[in-house]
Structures are given as C-alpha cells and as structure tokens.
Amino acid sequence: METILETQNLTKIYGKKSAAKDINIKIRQGEIYGLIGRNGAGKTTIMRMISGLSAPTRGSYSLFGKTGPEMKRMMKKVGVLIEHPGLYPKLSAEDNIRIKCIAMGIRYKGNSYIQDLLRTVGLENVSNKKHAGEFSLGMRQRLGIALALVGEPSIVILDEPINGLDPQGIVEVRHTLENLRDEKGITIMISSHILDELSKLADSYGIIHEGLLLDQFTSDELHSRCGQFVTIKTNDNSAALSALSGLGIEDKKIDADGNIRVGEQLENTSAMAKAIINADLELREMFITNISLEDYYLNVTGGEHNG
C-alpha cells in the first residue's frame, strides 16, 4: 500500500521545551491513522506541522513521496480541521462552504458541488436551520469536516473532531469518517483521547507522550496485544501448551509475565482446565482478562490517562 505521508525526525521546540521530538510517522493511503495522547502530549503540534500551519524546528516530512517545493504544491491535496471549525455562525451551511470555495479558488457550477459535500457528511437536510450557529456541536463538527473536504483532498487531518460530543454526535462523526475512507478512499489522520471510540475506527495508531512517539501499530497488532483472552497459570507451561493443543487451540503463547495466554475458545475454559488437570499438571489459576486500547496506552506511557 502506498505511503501518502511520512515524517523524518520531525521536531518542534518552543524555547527550551520540545513539544515534539524526532517524530517518525508513516501513513498509508486509504487508512485512518489514530494519534493517541493526553492534552499537551504534542498531537496538535505534529498536526500543525504536517498541515503546513507551523514550521518544524528540524526534521522534515513528505507528501505523496514529494519533498521541498514539489511537496508544497501537493498541500492543496491536504484537508485540515485543527481544533474547532472556523464557521460563520450567522451564515448557512451552504454559504460557509461557498466562502471556503471562493477562498481556495475552487470553481463549481450550480449548487450540486456544495450539496454533495453536505451529503457526504450527513448534512443534506439542514434547510430548516438557516444559520450554522443553530447547529448542534456534532453538526458543527461535521460541517467543519465538509469544509476540510473542499478541493477534494486525498488526506484529511482532524484534530480531536469528537471532543465534547454527546454519544449520538460521536457515532455520527465516526460514521462520516468511515464513509470517507470506505467510499471515497480518503486517508484520514485523527487525534483523540476518547480511546474506546478510536479503537472502533482506526486502522493504525501512534502513541504520543511528552512530545515523543512511543509506539506505532496496526489494528491487527492492537488486537494481538489487547482484546479478551484467557490467562492460565500452571507449574509447567510447556506441558500445558501441549495439552491445550489437543483441544485444537492455536492462538496461545507464554506472555511476558510467564503465564499462558489463550486468545480463542474463550467460552471453553472448562475444557481447558480439564485438559491441563488430565495431563497431571497443577492448575494454579485461570481467568479471563480484558485489555482495552486505553489499558495498552496506560501501560506504554506508564501513567494515568487524564485526557
């Protein structure tokens, strides 16, 4: 899969403080990349640099494999929503988009282009609300995404687009982003501290903590590290693994704590216990463990998640 955005030791220093240091991120075409980190971790700083809103102190990045002057010409293919959408509250959704088109020099015929954008973000039925200021927070966020889509970008950078939304608004924005990826093929970089929701959406992740990129992983790798599994403690793990193989269990291993971890047949724990005991082994403990993205994040950062 083609790499659409890549950073090389991207760094931003304010005074003596490194807001982001030696960041190396690679985002593939057509994926949703989730940037995870608490407030002040450096997420917005990174997004501002790669969207052209802030110059790096050192390091570089490429878009579509281009750098330097060639990359600058590619910036028109990048849509951005950093922090809150800049809306004209006394104008309609259509007029807000129309102004953005004019500012970007986008030529369009009739109103179909604007209506297509509103339809893409699920705001096709807003004629009963004349002013964007009357929109709910979720509707304003979706209008902000529509503004970021003006010019048909290939990648959209969204900073905390679900922050402050109620559950219904979160679902609406999530469905909007999924449709952009699945139906439009648009690559999305999104930051959020609502980790449970992000785990339902992203294809790849990066964990930012105190300006450092601590870890990157795909959704498949996340599944192998998190999710639900059976933890088993015995007096002989090698023999216990052999006993479990007799049940047709393949997803099993010895974890970093020296316990057996089984990732399948979770409903079959009684058979697992019987197999271990029948092998004349000591079954010391067996329980089901749930590890969420938030749990994994806390383990990597070594601290409490405070948003």
What DSSP state is assigned to residue 172?
A: H
Q: Are 79 and 26 in contact (CB under 8 A)?
A: no
163 and 260 belong to one structural domain: no
Contact 96, 147 (CB under 8 A): yes
Same domain, 282 and 135: no
At 304, is the pLDDT very low, low, confident or very high (cuts 50, 70, 90)?
low
Q: How many domains does the chain have?
A: 2
The enclosing domain of 246 has a CATH number of 3.30.70.100
Instruction: Tell me if 99 is assigned to some domain.
Output: yes
Whether residues 231 and 202 share a domain: the answer is no
pLDDT at residue 128, rounded to an integer? 64
Look at residue 190 and tell me if it is in a domain: yes
Asked if residue 234 and residue 120 are part of one domain, the reply reads: no
Could you tell me which residues come within 8 angstroms of residue 70 by beta carbon, excluding any fewer than 6 positions away? none
Domain boundary among 184, 218, 252: 218
> Where residue 179 falls among pLDDT bands split at 50, 70, 90?
very high
The helix (H) or strand (E) run that includes residue 32 is: strand 32-36
14 located within any domain: yes
Q: What is the mean pLDDT of residues 186-202?
A: 89
- pLDDT tens digits along 214-234: 999 998 888 777 778 899 999
Phi first, then psi: give them for residue 17, nearest 5 degrees: -105, 130
- How far is residue 286's CA from residue 133's CA, in Å, rounded to a whole number? 55
301 occurs within a structural domain: no
On the question of pLDDT at 299 being above 90, the answer is: no
Q: Which amino acid is at 178?
A: E
- Answer yes or no: do 214 and 233 share one domain: no
> Do 207 and 257 belong to one domain?
no
* One domain, residues 240 and 210: no
One domain, residues 163 and 265: no
pLDDT tier at 197 (50, 70, 90 boundaries)? confident
Domain membership of residue 304 (yes or no) is no
Closest CA to 236 of 290, 296, 276: 276
- Quick check: helix, strand or coil at residue 130? coil
CATH number for the domain that contains residue 57: 3.40.50.300
Is residue 33 assigned to a domain?
A: yes
Q: Which of 187, 218, 249 is the last residue of a domain?
A: 218
For the whole model, what pTM was predicted? 0.79
Residues 28 and 59 in one domain: yes
Among candidate residues 166, 186, 218, the one where a domain is terminated: 218
187 part of a folded domain:
yes
Report if residue 296 sits inside a domain.
no
Same domain, 165 and 273: no
pLDDT tens per residue, range 118-127 = 989 989 888 6
Range of the domain at 256: 227-291
Over the stretch 257-276, which tens digit does the pLDDT of each residue have?
A: 899 999 889 899 999 999 99
Whether residues 106 and 88 fall in one domain: yes
d(CA 36, CA 192): 6
- Do 20 and 162 lie in a common domain? yes
